[in-house]
């Protein structure tokens, strides 16, 4: 009977048989991570928080009123630092230490703003504890980020907390530090696990280094402190460096030191 059928019909029939014999495969996209309904999730692509990029803007409630972050920065340098939660031991010591450094940061034209993943009512009570424990008077605002909107915007969330979201509930923020200049550019980021307290002196040292570099056109070596020798950038020739800075000490052709004072 097959010999009586046209070849075109036979080819079509055979193709149908082969297709029917193949296993049916349905590809599905991986399921999106499940987040609790009270957890803020990004609705747009995560900003790329590279050094030199503009710090993402946001509006938020703080212990000193509602803010637009870029308006808050204004023409000042700013430190944004996050904390996992109110009434936690490490965070309490950190906020107290930063509060005590207020005058030093103000000398450098630097504002401070904290963030903790609780509401305003909790923040206000916590500040009383901070002032008591550290014997200080905390004056900078603390962002209320109970829904983690800013934490996700600035990628301040530990991967472990995301992976364990169903077991642990809402994700904690990690200890992040962002140093932002007067042009609203991110100049430095530091990320610490929740278990490790930061070093306020290092944050201040970094700001001194960045501001010295901007003003003087130099870079700073390991463990540099204000008043110590700085490095002449490779882009500046030794004759030009001597004209600009005076004495230049050459250790290697690519490693030259000078002093620009404090």
Q: Indicate the helix (H) or strand (E) that contains 68.
A: strand 65-68
Nearest CA-CA partner of 181 in 214, 142, 139: 214
**Distant-in-sequence, close-in-space partners of 39: CB < 8 Å, separation ≥ 6:** 147, 148, 165, 170, 171
Residues 125-134 as b/e (b if ≥16 CB within 10 A, e otherwise) read: ebbeebeeeb
Nearest CA-CA partner of 214 in 183, 192, 169: 183
> Tokens standing for 39?
């957890």
> Tokens standing for 139?
């004056």
CA distance linking residue 112 with residue 93, whole number of Å: 16
Nearest CA-CA partner of 196 in 87, 78, 89: 89
**Distant-in-sequence, close-in-space partners of 104: CB < 8 Å, separation ≥ 6:** 204
Alpha-carbon separation of residue 228 from 18, 50, 207, 219, 242 (angstroms): 80, 29, 15, 12, 18
91 is catalytic: yes
Q: Which of 73, 79, 80, 91 is catalytic?
A: 91
Q: Which residues are catalytic?
A: 91
């Amino acid at each position: 009977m097959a010999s009586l059928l046209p070849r075109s019909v036979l080819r079509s029939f055979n193709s149908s048989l082969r297709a029917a014999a193949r296993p049916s495969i349905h590809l599905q996209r991986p399921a999106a991570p499940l987040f609790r309904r009270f957890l803020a999730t990004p609705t747009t692509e995560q900003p790329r928080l590279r050094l030199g990029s503009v710090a993402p803007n946001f509006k938020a409630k703080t212990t000193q009123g509602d803010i637009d972050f870029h308006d808050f920065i204004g023409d000042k340098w700013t430190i944004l630092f996050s904390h996992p939660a109110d009434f936690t031991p490490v965070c309490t010591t950190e906020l107290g230490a930063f509060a005590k450094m207020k005058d030093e940061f103000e000398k450098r034209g630097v504002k401070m703003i904290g963030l903790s993943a609780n509401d305003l009512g909790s923040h206000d009570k916590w500040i009383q504890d901070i002032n008591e424990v550290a014997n200080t008077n905390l004056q900078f605002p603390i962002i209320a980020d109970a829904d983690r909107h800013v934490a996700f915007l600035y990628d301040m969330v530990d991967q472990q907390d995301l992976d364990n979201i169903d077991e642990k509930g809402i994700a904690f923020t990690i200890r992040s530090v962002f140093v932002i200049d007067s042009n609203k550019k991110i100049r430095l980021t530091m990320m610490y696990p929740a278990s490790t307290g930061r070093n306020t002196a290092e944050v201040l040292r970094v700001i001194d280094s960045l501001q010295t570099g901007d003003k003087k056109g130099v870079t700073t070596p390991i463990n540099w402190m204000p008043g110590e020798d700085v490095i002449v950038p490779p882009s500046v020739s030794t004759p030009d460096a001597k004209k600009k800075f005076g004495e230049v000490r050459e250790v290697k052709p690519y490693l030259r030191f000078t002093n620009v004072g404090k």
